[in-house]
Amino acid sequence: MSWTGKFLRIDLTKGTVGTEELNREWARQYLGQRGLATKYFAEEVDPKVDPLSPANKMIFTTGPLTGTAASTGGRYSVVTKGPLTGCIACSNSGGFFGNELKNAGWDMIIVEGKSPRPVYLSVENETVEIRDAAEFWGKTVWETENGLKARHQDPMLRVASIGAAGEKGALYACIVNDMHRAAGRSGVGAVMGSKNLKAIAVRGTRGVTVKDPDRFIKATIEQKKVLADNAVTGQGLPKYGTQVLMNVINEIGALPTRNFRDVQFEGAHKISAEAMHEPRVTDGKANLATNGACFGCTIACGRISRMDAGHFSIATRPQYKEPSGGVEYEAAWAVGADCGVDDLEACTFANFMCNEHGFDPISFGSTLAAAMEMYEMGVLTREHTGGIELKFGSAEALVKMAELTGKGEGFGVELGLGSRRLCAKYGHPELSMTVKSQEFPAYDPRGIQGMGLTYATSNRGACHLRSYTVASEVLGIPFKSDPLATEGKAALVKAFQDATAAFDASGICIFTTFAWSLENLAPQLDAACEGEWTPDVLLEVGERIWTLERQFNLAAGMTAADDTLPKRLLKDAAKTGPAKGLASGLDKMLPEYYQLRGWTPDGVPTADTLKRLHLA
């Protein structure tokens, strides 16, 4: 119970649809979603597989609490081998798609092979079909979602699809569901495109059963009250969203600016949460139209923005004048501060492009920032960019490049390679701000030391969502630690990584962790799922997932040498703010981290560690 106990296996090469029973022993060991799907993936796929070949698989997976009454219980993940990174990829999304899939009666969909022609997968409870998608190929995410709802004559249909970025293989293409929620990172959309799979359309009406309904409802009500009473999840996130971080991270001197050359951005306030609330000079309206919630969420951090109708990016394009998914913090930083752009409307337009065409704003913004630095150095010229001046701070360049990248046209094709490949191609690999080929998110490791270790050791390449030590180092949750210190950060990162993996395996949004710990999650899982789920069990599950991901990456060819940061962050000190004079102290944290994990000095789990975690 809480798991449906069955999943779909779709072979696109053969055009077959199969159903299988869930491996209950694996569910006990890996819980669900990120954990369980990674176990299936690691068992079935050669770690050295070419990510864009038919031999790669992708798993759309829910957690046991997905589709239940638990707050935020609407999450799903896509697990595959990432084309951007060559690592295990696990991209998590909200919206309503995950709930619909679970309510259709399926814990997961394993997609394998490659269709000879564009197709989409239609799932209506037990009726599952691979259907022709010729009319949708080349269409945007938004057109595809609306088109499928019209074709099925069902406005409640939930759709996860790719746009041109995924079809044309942009290496950070994402999968977008519900118009503006995304499995965003590591290029999972490019894998979908490589399989000629345009979309998955789901309608589910079967419901989800839990082990002890009375105890479960009582537990979920109690924990919803915890979220409501907490100042962060009950007030801050609904009102200001994640964007409230823009001014904080800038003030503490950890806002990467102009491709990490600086750590503070003079235009931060103009692209912040506070600015999104302020009436515009031009039309008197605020950028923020309202907030929004995903399925079952009682936090509602989502941003819905209405652009200035007179802004140069949309003045002649009425289709962008209606409210749509606005910038979250990571996106606003990437297309804003990292590119030196302080035009909130231009940032919002770039975000619309990411949603409409299906590509990751973090990787896009970071890649564009690297390209801007190469342009200012004279390495890139107007001949490369199609006549566009790619200068830091240019809102015009941002708007143009976002559209070209989304459509896979002009210099946008090169930007779609991602920062590492682009910088290497033009002879400046040192300008790529990446770990394992994935672009950094919005926290400078010189000003928040724990995030340096987080990035270096993340199993999917640079990522903030694998170990959000910002919570402790900056925000004081669950306790305040010094962002400039390296002492104690190895243990902090490990603790965050393991707990986060457990949350990601449950079907719950990680934003609950501003108010919840595993102590709050466990009673809900224990009431919903077969077995006994305590905080200690969940912590062990989290560590097991983390170590399994590590094992996959090592088998794929990664080594300890990949657990590092760009030279700019290790050698060039921050120029301003509290971290002035400080570089990342990764070398002081990494050996201790390996030791705490029970890994060798070369970053390989020891036999004892594997045995303890039942991985050997």
> Does residue 93 interact with another protein by CB under 8 A?
no
* Pattern 282-321, another protein, x by CB under 8 A: -------------------x--------------------
> Does residue 226 interact with another protein by CB under 8 A?
no
Cβ closest to another protein, residue 173 vs residue 442: 442
CB of 196 to another protein, least distance (A): 34
* Pattern 551-590, another protein, x by CB under 8 A: --------------------------xx------------
Q: 9: which strand partners?
A: 18, 110
Cβ closest to another protein, residue 36 vs residue 237: 237
> Does residue 470 interact with another protein by CB under 8 A?
yes
Task: Considering only the stretches 62-70, 77-85, 228-236, 424-432, report the one whose residues sit in contact with another protein under the rule CB under 8 A.
Answer: 228-236
> Does residue 245 interact with another protein by CB under 8 A?
yes
454, 491 contact by CB (below 8 A): no
User: What is the phi/psi pair of residue 347, to 5°?
Assistant: -65, -40
Among 121, 244, 297, 529, binds another protein (CB under 8 A): 244
CB of 98 to another protein, least distance (A): 19
Distances (CA, A) of 41 to 427, 587, 588: 36, 32, 34
Q: Is the peptide bond before 478 cis (omega within 30 degrees of 0)?
A: yes
Non-local (6+) Cβ contacts of 425 within 8 A are: 414, 417
481, 493 contact by CB (below 8 A): no
Among 22, 133, 273, 537, binds another protein (CB under 8 A): 273
Task: Considering only the stretches 19-27, 130-138, 172-180, 245-253, report the one whose residues sit in contact with another protein under the rule CB under 8 A.
Answer: 245-253
Task: Considering only the stretches 211-219, 237-245, 311-319, 488-496, report the one whose residues sit in contact with another protein under the rule CB under 8 A.
Answer: 237-245
CA 256 – CA 585 distance, rounded (Å): 17
Q: Is the dihedral of CA 157, 238, 299, 79 positive or negative?
A: positive
> Does residue 266 interact with another protein by CB under 8 A?
no
CA 262 remoteness from chain centre: 25
Among 236, 410, 416, 461, binds another protein (CB under 8 A): 236
In the region spanning residues 318 to 377, those forming contacts with another protein, defined by CB under 8 A, are: 329-330
Helix or strand (DSSP H, E) at 119: strand 119-124
> What is the DSSP pairing of strand 438-439 with strand 434-435?
antiparallel
CB of 54 to another protein, least distance (A): 35
> Does residue 241 interact with another protein by CB under 8 A?
yes
Non-local (6+) Cβ contacts of 611 within 8 A are: none
> Does residue 492 interact with another protein by CB under 8 A?
no
Task: Considering only the stretches 70-78, 112-120, 251-259, 369-377, report the one whose residues sit in contact with another protein under the rule CB under 8 A.
Answer: 251-259
CA 514 – CA 305 distance, rounded (Å): 25
Task: Considering only the stretches 315-323, 337-345, 419-427, 506-514, report the one whose residues sit in contact with another protein under the rule CB under 8 A.
Answer: 506-514
Task: Considering only the stretches 128-136, 152-160, 267-275, 528-536, report the one whose residues sit in contact with another protein under the rule CB under 8 A.
Answer: 267-275
CA 412 – CA 560 distance, rounded (Å): 33
CA 616 – CA 607 distance, rounded (Å): 8
> Does residue 380 interact with another protein by CB under 8 A?
no
CB of 484 to another protein, least distance (A): 9
Residue of 556, 411, 564 whose CA lies nearest to 82:
556
Residue 601: how many other CB atoms lie within 10 Å? 10
Task: Considering only the stretches 152-160, 467-475, 556-564, 588-596, report the one whose residues sit in contact with another protein under the rule CB under 8 A.
Answer: 467-475
Distances (CA, A) of 22 to 39, 102, 489, 548, 549: 12, 13, 38, 19, 20
Among 253, 336, 361, 418, binds another protein (CB under 8 A): 253
Residue 306: how many other CB atoms lie within 10 Å? 20
Among 6, 149, 239, 575, binds another protein (CB under 8 A): 239
What angle in degrees, to the nearest 10, is found between the helix axes of 449-457 and 586-597?
Answer: 50
Task: Considering only the stretches 334-342, 372-380, 510-518, 553-561, report the one whose residues sit in contact with another protein under the rule CB under 8 A.
Answer: 510-518
> Does residue 274 interact with another protein by CB under 8 A?
yes
CB of 171 to another protein, least distance (A): 24
Among 134, 231, 485, 616, binds another protein (CB under 8 A): 231
335, 345 contact by CB (below 8 A): no
CB of 255 to another protein, least distance (A): 11
> Does residue 487 interact with another protein by CB under 8 A?
no
Cβ closest to another protein, residue 240 vs residue 552: 240
List the structure tokens of 227: 């979220």
CB of 166 to another protein, least distance (A): 25
Among 510, 554, 582, 604, binds another protein (CB under 8 A): 510
499 by Cβ neighbours in 10 Å (0-12 / 13-18 / 19+) ranks as buried
156, 201 contact by CB (below 8 A): no
Among 17, 179, 475, 560, binds another protein (CB under 8 A): 475
Cβ closest to another protein, residue 252 vs residue 397: 252
Non-local (6+) Cβ contacts of 258 within 8 A are: 337, 338, 339, 340, 369, 372, 373, 392
> Does residue 242 interact with another protein by CB under 8 A?
yes
CA 194 – CA 165 distance, rounded (Å): 11
Residue 127: how many other CB atoms lie within 10 Å? 10
CB of 252 to another protein, least distance (A): 5
Residues near another protein, by CB under 8 A: 230-233, 235-237, 239-245, 247-248, 251-253, 269, 273-274, 301, 329-330, 464-465, 468, 470-471, 474-477, 480, 482-483, 510-511, 514, 577-578
